[in-house]
Amino acid sequence: MMHQTGTTGGRMVWRAADPAVWDEWATRLGRLLSPAARVVRDEPMSRHTTWRVGGPAAVWVEPAGEEDLVRVVRACGPAGMPVLVVGRGSNLLVGDAGFHGVVVALHGEYWQRVEVSGERLWCGAGARLKAVAVAARDAGLSGLEFLEGIPGSVGGALRMNAGAMGSSMFEVVETVRLMDAAGEVREVAAGLLDVRYRCCEGLRDRIALGAWLRGRPAPREEIQERMQSYSRRRWATQPAAPSAGCVFKNPGGVPAGRLLDELGCKGWREGGAVVSDVHANFIVTEAGATAADVLRLIRRLQEHVWRERGILLEPEVRIVAEAEGEE
């Protein structure tokens, strides 16, 4: 039997007293969805996060299109079943206990479409940011070069308002197509989505399905040169080992990396999680690292900075761990 015990962030927490209950959910979703969809039990999240840590998703679903996604949302919502949408997992820490719910990945062909129309690009939520930057370059559209080295998807970049090299996602977004918790689909103007630094509140409880982005016509060679210079700058300043990019938001304009560096945190370690020697706002993982290692290191860094400077570092990465309270 399935029972609900307590809440996290106001949401019910499902615990399977019997794994057969998750089997039932997987079977049920498998029957509801089109044959092109994928439904998997106990899919290790370590395969789907760039930190390469995290326990299993009780049920992992790859809907083939919007109709499938509506069905997932409408089956899970009324049952209080938690749903976590993931992109490329490049800003995500899932606990070692995994996710007791349904993880939805927009990975199929339908979700990865990038189509150019004049000075605009339609980008599916599952499209890789690099593919968007390359499509814009090939079409002679500038303004999206900064997406080149961010290893995420359009959906994740919308949710995080990802940014680099002085630009951020919502500077180039015109409208977002999204699905709400009732499975209703709408296209919403970017200005109505309560966008902040590294966060889009308007997507907190909604799923981004895709977005229209806008570029500016420019010579391709110029765009290519800018992409190459961004790439060189990135490789010179960031570690190559598995990470989730910057762990903390910059507090009040001070780069968190500089703060951590000044406080001597480079090289700090908890188990297989280490503060990078290249960039102090990156935690890199070694083989055998666990999500608990990463979490312990995050907490230790926060405590240290609080004690030494009275600054509370807020994680930029999304933490989905039972002990932490989900997102």
Contacts with ligand FAD by CB under 6 A lie at 50, 84-92, 106, 125, 150-153, 155-157, 159-160, 162-164, 203, 207-208, 238, 243-245, 318, 327
From the list 44, 47, 64, 48, the residue with the least C-alpha distance to 56 is 44
The CB-of-303 to ligand FAD minimum distance in angstroms stands at 24
Q: Cβ of residue 124: shortest distance to ligand FAD, in angstroms?
A: 9
Element holding 21 (H helix, E strand): helix 19-32
- Comparing CB distances to ligand FAD, the nearer of 141 and 193 is 193
**Minimal distance, residue 70 CB to ligand FAD, in Å:** 14
Min separation Cβ 165 and ligand FAD, Å: 8
Token readout for 60 is: 């992992």
Shorter beta-carbon distance to ligand FAD: residue 113 or 309? 113
Minimum CB distance to ligand FAD smaller for 220 or for 233: 233
- Can you read off the two tokens belonging to residue 261? 């560096």
Distance of closest approach, residue 17 Cβ to ligand FAD, in angstroms: 27
| DSSP for residue 198 | T
Tell me the C-alpha distance between 189 and 206, whole Å. Answer: 14
In the bound state with ligand FAD, the residue whose beta carbon lies nearer, of 140 and 255, is 255
How many angstroms separate the CA atoms of 240 and 1, rounded? 45
Let me know: does 162 contact 154? Beta carbons within 8 Å.
Answer: no
| Closest to 8 (Cα-Cα) out of 118, 97, 117 | 97
Whichever of 75 and 127 has its CB closer to ligand FAD, that residue is 127
Shortest distance in whole angstroms from residue 83 CB to ligand FAD: 9
Closer Cβ to ligand FAD, 9 or 118, answer by number:
9
Distance between CA atoms of 15 and 53, rounded to whole angstroms? 21
Task: Please state whether beta strands 99-105 and 83-86 pair in parallel, antiparallel, or not at all (unpaired).
Answer: parallel
Buried/exposed code over 130-159 (b: 16+ C-beta within 10 A; e: otherwise): ebbbbbbbebbbbbbbbbbbbbbbbbbbbb
**Of 50 and 224, CB closest to ligand FAD:** 50
Tell me how far, at minimum, the Cβ of 217 lies from ligand FAD, in Å: 25
